[in-house]
Structure 1
Amino acid sequence: MAHVLLSECIRSQEIRRNHLSALPRERTVGFVGLGQMGGPMAEDILKGGHSLVAYNIDKRKVDHAVSLGAQAASDAADVARRARFVVSMVDTTAQAEEVIVGPGGFIQTAQAGDVIISMGTIDPMALQRMQEQLAAKGVDIIDAPVSGMEKGARQDTLKAFVGVKTEALEAAGPSFSL
């Protein structure tokens, strides 16, 4: 599911911008949170043929992703520096805030037009605050928590519950059509 979701985001953005040879950053997916659900999701993105840059606080999980073809990032800011679409798949609201808007977070290096996909279940008020901070930089955030646990991630049966503003939906493409 993660592969399909991000594949459609990338394809839609390439078509919309009419770039036949997108920049490497445009074709790279960033991923933070390689735990029980995030690890299999990142593997799925790699299996789909996408370039992936990954970060996790447990370096062993990054090493595993690298062994499958991912590039290692030094922190979440490095992920956003190197990828147009970035995924946060962390457990708690505090972790999401740190990864997305904290020091060393996505907000430090994200560029106007970038899209952050928050796939953990986090406090909606915190998400709204993060959205306001990101909007000041021209960065969109898509709220897409998933259900299905580790088994769903491994069997590619996760369900995403997507909340997004219209502009981000248009940028993300048909995978978010309701």
Structure 2
Amino acid sequence: MLTPENTVIGFIGIGVMGKSMAGHLINAGYSIFVYSRTKEKAQDLLDNGAEWASTAKEVAEKASVIFTMVGYPRDVEEIYFGENGLIHNGASGSYLIDMTTSAPSLAIKIYEQAKKEGIQAIDAPVSGGDVGAKEATLSIMVGCEREAFDEVLPILELLGTNVVYQGNPGAGQHTKMCNQIAIASNMIGVCEAIIYAEKAGLDPENVLKSITTGAAGSWSLSNLAPRMLAGNFEPGFYIKHFIKDMKIAIDEAEKMEMEVPGLSLAKSLYDQLVEKGEENSGTHALYKFWKN
């Protein structure tokens, strides 16, 4: 059993969500080594008892359970593969848990290479944004061997309230694609509804009181529409990362010979926002598409 007494955790990627997630593990009593390209981002964690690792290799050498939460599939590949990567330097019997939203094919590749070294690789992307990370209420979608899931479940439950085993390696990433497809089209609807309310001369905050609790209700409507109205477009999740996710989903759909017109439309709108310099805004900044 993986307990604070016998387990050292590594956490790579101290961003909007990773910082809060690593904090929960520290508060649960685990010894933590953290690594990020920018050390300053980890300072609060270091002040709270985490130790700094200067490379991913050092994390692999010191930790038996390692979380990665980075930006893009290319970042995942860089961290996991090569002479300085987690797989080459990790100990047999350790666990590598990638929480980055990445390609299902890459998750399978990581699993297969790690297996050769006696290491269990787990794809466990999350949903819930910065709020879910801070409150430890994330939805975590897991793909791996069932035995590995059972071993790491108590640790994952420190980060989320809805931890679901989805199946074999890659299944977690495929599930996250389903999540992103649903969010993409829903975000268009949320923005159009708010803009419509404003143009009709309604009080949009009052409108939300009615529609968030009815059939139109969604996480984005309840949590992100108020941010839109407040003019707060700080990222719970970056537009640039959402576009990356949508591209992965479109590519995977094409492999399955499936059309995704709603997803394709959403990506085209976000692409236009990036052209206007909004790539580092939160996904709810789609609202600006109608305002600009």
- Shorter-normalised TM-score: what interval? 0.7 to 0.9
- Which amino acid in structure 2 is aligned with residue 44 of structure 1? H
Aligned equivalents of 1:92, 1:103: Cα separation in 2: 20
- 1:101 is matched with 81
Match of 2:39 among 44, 59, 62: 59
- 1:110 is matched with 90
Offset at residue 103 of structure 1 (A): 4.2
Choose between structure 1 and 2: higher helix proportion. Answer: 2
Offset at residue 163 of structure 1 (A): 1.1
TM-superposition CA deviations, 1:63-112 (whole Å, max 9, x none): 33211110000111111111110000112111111112244221131011
What TM-score, normalized to structure 2? 0.51
Structure 1 residue runs without a partner (length 5+): 1-8, 15-21
Aligned equivalents of 2:47, 2:153: Cα separation in 1: 30
The alignment of Structure 1 onto Structure 2 pairs a total of residues equal to: 158
Are the equivalent residues in 2 in contact too, given 1:31–1:88 (CA < 8 A)?
Answer: yes
Offset at residue 177 of structure 1 (A): 7.2
- Which amino acid in structure 1 is aligned with residue 74 of structure 2? A
Aligned equivalents of 1:121, 1:171: Cα separation in 2: 22
Are the equivalent residues in 2 in contact too, given 1:75–1:105 (CA < 8 A)?
Answer: no
The structure with the largest alpha-carbon Rg is 2
Taking only the aligned residue pairs, the percentage that are identical comes to 33
Aligned equivalents of 2:164, 2:74: Cα separation in 1: 30
- 2:69 is matched with 89
Are the equivalent residues in 2 in contact too, given 1:33–1:88 (CA < 8 A)?
Answer: yes
- Which amino acid in structure 2 is aligned with residue 74 of structure 1? S
Match of 2:55 among 51, 75, 78: 75
What TM-score, normalized to structure 1? 0.81
Tell me, what secondary structure is at the counterpart of 1:129?
helix
TM-superposition CA deviations, 1:93-140 (whole Å, max 9, x none): 111111122442211310111101111111010111111111110101
Aligned equivalents of 1:171, 1:151: Cα separation in 2: 26
Are the equivalent residues in 2 in contact too, given 1:88–1:100 (CA < 8 A)?
Answer: no
- 2:2 is matched with 10
Aligned equivalents of 1:142, 1:166: Cα separation in 2: 10
- Which amino acid in structure 2 is aligned with residue 171 of structure 1? E
Over the aligned positions, Cα root-mean-square deviation in angstroms equals 2.0
Structure with bigger RCO (C-alpha 8 Å, 6+ apart): 1
